[in-house]
Copies of this chain bind each other. A is one copy, B any other.
Amino acid sequence: MQTPNSTHTSLDKGLQDLDQVVIRFAGDSGDGMQLTGDQFTRTTALMGNDIATFPDFPAEIRAPAGTLPGVSAFQLRFSSYDIHTPGDAPDVLVAMNPAALKVHLKELKKDGILLLNTASFSPLDLKKAKYEKDPRNDDSLSGFRVIEVDLEARTREALAHLTLDVRAKDRCKNMYALGILYWMFHRDMEPTIKAMAQKFGKKPELVEANVAAMKAGYAYAETTEVFQTAYRVAPAPMKPGTYRNIMGNQALCLGLVAAGQKSGLKLFLGSYPITPASDILHQLSSYKHLGVVTFQAEDEIAAVASAIGASYSGCLGITSTSGPGMALKAEAIGLAVMAELPLVVLNVQRAGPSTGMPTKTQQADLLQAICGRNGESPVCVIAASTPADAFEVGYEAVRIAVNHMVPVIVLSDGYIANGSEPWLLPDVDKLPAIPVTFAAEGTPGAKFMPYERNPETLARPWARPGTKGLVHRIGGIEKQDVTGNICYDADNHQHMVDTRAQKVANISNGLPPIETVGPRTGDLLVLGWGSTRGAITAATLRLQEEGHKISCACLRYLNPLPNDLGALMRGFKRVVLPEMNKGQLTMLLRAKFLIDVQCFSQVNGQPFKTHEIQQYLKQSLAGLREARR
């Protein structure tokens, strides 16, 4: 909360202008923290700030109320300028119970504001939160601006006039807290009032209760002495256009649907639920009116298999999953490689290995995507880097798959999937065309050649069953080029292995130049892929401000790699690559370019913090100067 500059509100309480604020809501799974954060986010987005969010769910399984594993949090950051991450340490922490306090206090900034719900500080509550004694009575809270409110009591008061039972009323206490924050940060309550009306439309008394609680909180903050100043964050200068706040999984789905409509292909999703990919299945299932077919299969193998069947039949086959499910799909993806059919495989990565930590994020499935099949089995691999970017990536995946008749693996992760940011809506008419040409009806007598290739892309024809004169047989056994007949000939096998590899390599010919933040030469190049983009960009910009010769680039295309990557890397004295794995892309780049790429590895289930990357880069730059002496 930098650069305060005092003015005055109507109620002559202080009003400070800030250029950015990081708020974290933390409470019990049952306290509605995700919803509260979501409301604050929507309102703030509508008010024209740039914003980024990071929900941090508890482990899949529901933990008992009030316990540490049960704590659910939602962090959001909004600003009057262009930001790239939901921020590191919060300026404001809302803690709904001792457990939330215990888990999140350590991250609150020095002098940060702590809004603490005092309703649940009974010895039992403290015990559940593993507090020996009440943190309010030792110096645990010193150094913070603590605001204690008994949200339960206050909310009950505020709703005294309503006939709802107490439990229902207590469930509104998050709205009371939201009201307080709305006043503190000068937010408009209207959007939330509308939202409540929509959400509880069928239960008017709930609408009333939630709105009343929020207004009461707002009034409380406005009137009591406890709150001396409110804060204002001016709208951010954003590219003109129409915006919408969007989460990664949503954007991915929209990208696929847009591609379906542009290409004229029917979408078929074969999927099996798994955290954090399930929402893709849920959302596409709600698009029946758009002709999207979704099939919840018996397992991940059947899911990808059905998608392959759909592509074979002339639709666009898609399958969505996360790490463990990805492992199960390997054999079938190999079949798609052999059959040379389009296929889009979505892997929303989570922390592994094995079941790992399903609700935590990670980028450790890259090598699995590229190398995780038997034999030489090349596929295209691309990655989404932000929630909004997922739209373009989903769209691009379809384009590549049908244009090159090849499986495309899209890597996202839990951080992108559930994070959100404002999205400048594209002009649908300006979306790149996705031309699809199916093999035309065969002429009687003439035998159809299923592996006769497009000389440029090496793609084979897409022959839809049901088309006259195109009957043919394909399969997973090695086949003769052109005819597709089973063939064990040594030279043919070598030829087909090389051809399948070349076909994928050819994808890089059509790619745009790599976008960099900063000049294309200098001291230090920071490369990244996927969800590390925000933190990398933010850190790089700060160091550029400090005058360092540093640039960064986030790669969307991981296999094949962009043609201009080698040249770009050689334009810098050193290349650094932060990854949420033990150096997977780093290994690929070192092997291909024999450049001593340095991996900054973090594998703890958490996204990188900007300052961590910044610090690492600073040291690296210092090292370079050392070297020069």
- Which residues on A are within 8 Å of B, measured CB to CB? 59, 69, 322-324, 326-328, 330-331, 334-335, 337-338, 349, 351-357, 359-360, 362, 364-365, 367-368, 370-377, 475-478, 486, 488, 490-491, 493-494, 497-498, 500-501, 581-582, 584, 586-588, 590-592, 594-596, 602-606
Report if A377-B355 is in contact (Cβ < 8 Å); known contacts: A490-B604, A594-B594.
no
Q: Which of B335, B365, B368, B374 contacts A364 (CB 8 A)?
A: B374
The 8 listed contacts between A and B (C-beta, < 8 Å) are A352-B373, A356-B477, A357-B478, A360-B488, A371-B371, A478-B605, A494-B604, A594-B596
Top 8 nearest A-B pairs (CB, nearest first) are A352-B375, A323-B374, A353-B375, A354-B476, A367-B371, A353-B377, A372-B372, A591-B591
Whole-angstrom distance between the Cβ of A69 and the nearest chain B Cβ: 7
A604 near B368 with CB under 8 A, answer no
- Alpha-carbon separation in the docked complex, A606 to B492 (Å): 12
User: Within the complex, which residue of B59, B354, B590 is in contact with A334, where a contact is CB–CB below 8 Å?
Assistant: B354
CA distance A66 to B157 in the complex (A): 95
**A477 in contact with B330 given A376-B603, A497-B603 (CB within 8 Å):** no
Known: A331-B324, A360-B488, A373-B327. A355 touches B476 (CB 8 A): yes
**Which residue of chain B has its CB nearest to the CB of A333?**
B327
Closest residue on chain B to residue A602 by CB atoms? B494
- On chain B, the residues within 8 Å of A368 by CB distance are 330, 371-374
Are the CB atoms of A375 and B323 closer together than 8 Å? yes
For A330, A365, A501, the residue with the greatest tally of chain B CB atoms inside 10 Å of its CB is A330
Contacting residues, chain B, for A349 (C-beta < 8 A): 374
- Asked if residues A372 and B375 are in contact (CB atoms below 8 Å), the reply is no
When chains A and B are docked, how far (Å) is the Cα of A360 from the Cα of B486?
A: 14
Q: How far is the CA of A370 from the CA of B371 in the complex (A)?
A: 9
B375 touches A490 (CB 8 A): no
Complex CA gap A353/B406 in Å reads 14
Q: Which residue of B lies closest to A372 (CB)?
A: B372
In the complex, chain B residues whose CB is within 8 Å of the CB of A584: 371
- A329 (CB) vs chain B CBs: closest residue: B327
Choice from B355, B357, B375, B594 contacting A354 with Cβ under 8 Å? B375
CB contact between A352 and one of B334, B355, B356, B370 (< 8 Å): that residue: B334
Number of identical protomers: 2
Question: Considering the chains assembled together, what is the distance between the CA atoms of A351 and B323 in angstroms?
Answer: 26
CB of B326 within 8 A of CB of A374, answer yes
Q: When A374-B324, A374-B327 are in contact, do A59 and B488 touch as well, CB less than 8 Å?
A: yes
Q: Judge whether A327 and B323 touch: CB under 8 Å.
A: no
CA distance A475 to B586 in the complex (A): 31
Q: A59-B488, A497-B582 are in contact. Are A352 and B328 (CB under 8 A)?
A: no
B362 in contact with A581 (CB, 8 Å): no
Which B-chain residue is minimally distant from A594 (CB atoms)?
B594
Within 8 Å by CB of A582, from B334, B374, B376, B491, lies B376
Determine which residue in A59, A351, A359, A494 has the highest number of CB atoms from chain B within 10 A of its CB, and name it.
A351
Q: How far is the CA of A488 from the CA of B357 in the complex (A)?
A: 6
Write out the residue numbers on chain B whose beta carbons fall within 8 Å of the beta carbon of A493. Answer: 351, 357, 360, 603-605
Whether A330 touches B372, Cβ cut-off 8 Å, given contacts A338-B354, A497-B582, A587-B591, is yes
Given contacts A334-B327, A488-B59, contact A377 B352 (CB under 8 A): yes
Q: A69's contact among B330, B371, B376, B488, by CB below 8 Å, is which?
A: B488
A-B contacts besides A327-B331, A327-B374, A352-B377, 20 pairs, CB < 8 Å: A324-B331, A334-B353, A349-B374, A352-B373, A353-B375, A353-B500, A354-B476, A354-B477, A357-B477, A357-B488, A360-B488, A367-B371, A368-B372, A371-B371, A371-B584, A376-B603, A491-B604, A493-B604, A588-B591, A594-B595
Residue of B with least CB distance to A326: B374
- A124 vs chain B, min Cβ distance (A): 23
Selected contact of A362 from candidates B352, B364, B375, CB within 8 Å: B375
| Docked pose: A256 CA to B337 CA in angstroms | 35
> Which of B324, B326, B353, B591 has a CB less than 8 Å from the CB of A376?
B353
Contact residues in B for A331 (Cβ distance below 8 Å): 324, 327-328, 354
* Max chain B Cβ within 10 angstroms of own Cβ: one of A371, A475, A486: A371
Q: In the complex, A606→B360 CA distance in Å?
A: 45
* Inter-subunit contact A501/B604 (CB<8 Å): no
Contact between chains at B367 and A374 (CB < 8 Å): no
A374 neighbours in B (Cβ, 8 Å): 322-324, 326-327, 349, 352-354, 356, 364-365, 368
CA distance A180 to B236 in the complex (A): 93
- A505→B493 CA distance, assembly (Å): 36
Which B residue's beta carbon lies closest to that of A478? B357
Instruction: With both chains docked as a complex, state the minimum distance between the C-beta of A274 and any C-beta of chain B, in angstroms.
Output: 11
Partner of A590, one of B327, B376, B490, B594: B594
* Residue with the greatest number of chain B CB neighbours at <10 A, chosen from A337, A364, A370: A364
